[in-house]
Amino acid sequence: MNQNVYKIRSPLYYAFLRFLSNRAALISGIILAIIILMSILAPLITQTGYEEQKFLTNNLAFPSLDHWFGIDDLGRDFYTRIVYGARVSLSIGFVAAAFSVVIGLPLGALAGYYGGSVDWFVMRIIELFSVIPPLMAALLLAALVRGGFLSIIFIAALFGWVQVCLLVRAQVLSFKEKEFIRSSFALGASPMYVIFKHLIPNSISPVIVGFVQAIPLAMMLEAGLSFLGAGIQPPLPSWGQMINIGINFMFFYWHLALFPTLALAITVMATTLFGDGLRDALDPTINDKN
């Protein structure tokens, strides 16, 4: 006698299948993983340090088998600079995104749960940050704190928390009237218990999406500041800084502007598409018909 056996799968299982079916997101994830792995293994896959001027007699050399991306104007291997630049850009992107979550998650949860004056206050702050041009404000702040790695992270996080906050607020608003929340209150749970035990854990999906989407924004902000001379300072390599220097030579030594531009564009595009794929896969409004 045949019996139908129904397997109860986790929602994450179906989210994973949806992500795998998104070819653009899958390829972008693979590219992003390769770039991250390269940045971690930078000392093992490069022939020199990022500030070693070992090729001064051959500076501004074009790409070759010995120097894949050529040599810069100060006699440094350009491939090495690109790889270490990935480490700088990704570090700023990930750390700034983490701080964006730390700021946006509690604010979004409190605004969504309490509503009223709390929600009004948080939304007014969001509107304030929405109308301020991030790059112009970041330039002013960078000039005041004189740039630097930690300063760029602070500036990027300051403008990256808004999206996370809005995502969490929307999720909390959709969950706070559900039966299991009312049951918790009926059993004597405090508002803080409900927020941290039920509402925030059920907002993990939008938090993950917000975290991934904040990474390319932080990277682009850092690149823009470094390009304008207010970001990462030499000799620490930054793609924006390298593009700025390369523009001075681009009419003949094209590789000095081309390779950091391509590295930044590919990384930002891969991260953005990966984040879009996660958003589509983890969207709780998607009805699974399988």
Per-residue pLDDT at 288 exceeds 70: no
Query: Residue 63 sits in which domain range?
Result: 11-282
- Is 67 within 8 Å of 79 (Cβ atoms)? yes
In a domain, 91, yes or no: yes
pLDDT band at 8 (very low <50, low <70, confident <90, very high): low
Per-residue pLDDT at 60 exceeds 80: yes
At 262, which amino acid appears?
L
CA dihedral 209, 123, 147, 228 (to 10 degrees): 80
Per-residue pLDDT at 40 exceeds 70: yes
The pLDDT, as a whole number, for residue 11 is: 67
- Is 160 within 8 Å of 214 (Cβ atoms)? yes
How many other C-beta atoms can be found within 10 angstroms of the C-beta atom of residue 25? Answer: 22
The pLDDT, as a whole number, for residue 26 is: 92
Tell me how many domains the chain contains.
1
% of residues, the chain, pLDDT over 90 = 19
Q: Which of 39-53, 202-216, 239-253, 255-269 has the lowest mean pLDDT?
A: 202-216
Q: Which residue has the higher pLDDT, 210 or 30?
A: 30
- Residues 128-133 have a mean pLDDT of 82
In a domain, 199, yes or no: yes
Enter the pTM of the model. Answer: 0.82
In a domain, 243, yes or no: yes
Contacts with 253 (C-beta within 8 Å, 6 or more apart), sequence order: 60, 62, 70, 73, 246
Distance CA 135, CA 239 (A): 17
Q: Would you call the peptide bond into 191 cis, given omega within 30 degrees of 0 as the criterion?
A: no
Nearest to 87 by CA among 245, 219, 229, 273: 219
The tens digit of pLDDT for each residue in 61-120 reads 888 888 889 888 888 899 999 999 999 899 999 999 999 999 998 898 888 888 889 899
41 three-state secondary structure: coil
Contacts with 193 (C-beta within 8 Å, 6 or more apart), sequence order: 184
H helices present in 132-203, as ranges: 134-145, 149-175, 179-186, 191-194
Q: Which residue has the higher pLDDT, 7 or 235?
A: 235
Distance CA 184, CA 191 (A): 9
71 three-state secondary structure: strand
CA dihedral over 137, 130, 273, 100, signed as positive or negative? positive
CA dihedral over 217, 220, 226, 229, signed as positive or negative? negative
The pLDDT, as a whole number, for residue 115 is: 84
* Tokens 């390769």, located at residue: 34
pLDDT band at 32 (very low <50, low <70, confident <90, very high): very high
In a domain, 259, yes or no: yes
Per-residue pLDDT at 276 exceeds 80: yes
Q: How far is CA 184 from the centre of its chain?
A: 35
In a domain, 247, yes or no: yes
Per-residue pLDDT at 161 exceeds 50: yes
pLDDT band at 285 (very low <50, low <70, confident <90, very high): low
Nearest to 98 by CA among 169, 166, 154, 139: 154
- Is 70 within 8 Å of 78 (Cβ atoms)? yes
The pLDDT, as a whole number, for residue 10 is: 66
Q: Which residue has the higher pLDDT, 202 or 161?
A: 161
The pLDDT, as a whole number, for residue 290 is: 40
CATH code for position 215: 1.10.3720.10
% of residues, the chain, pLDDT over 70 = 92
How many other C-beta atoms can be found within 10 angstroms of the C-beta atom of residue 282? Answer: 20
pLDDT band at 263 (very low <50, low <70, confident <90, very high): very high
In a domain, 290, yes or no: no
In a domain, 3, yes or no: no
The pLDDT, as a whole number, for residue 147 is: 67
Helices 11-21 + 23-40 axis angle, to 10 = 90
Per-residue pLDDT at 259 exceeds 90: yes
In a domain, 5, yes or no: no
pLDDT band at 30 (very low <50, low <70, confident <90, very high): very high
How many CA atoms within 13 Å lie on the side-chain side of 280?
16
Q: Which residue has the higher pLDDT, 25 or 188?
A: 25
- Residues 147-170 have a mean pLDDT of 84
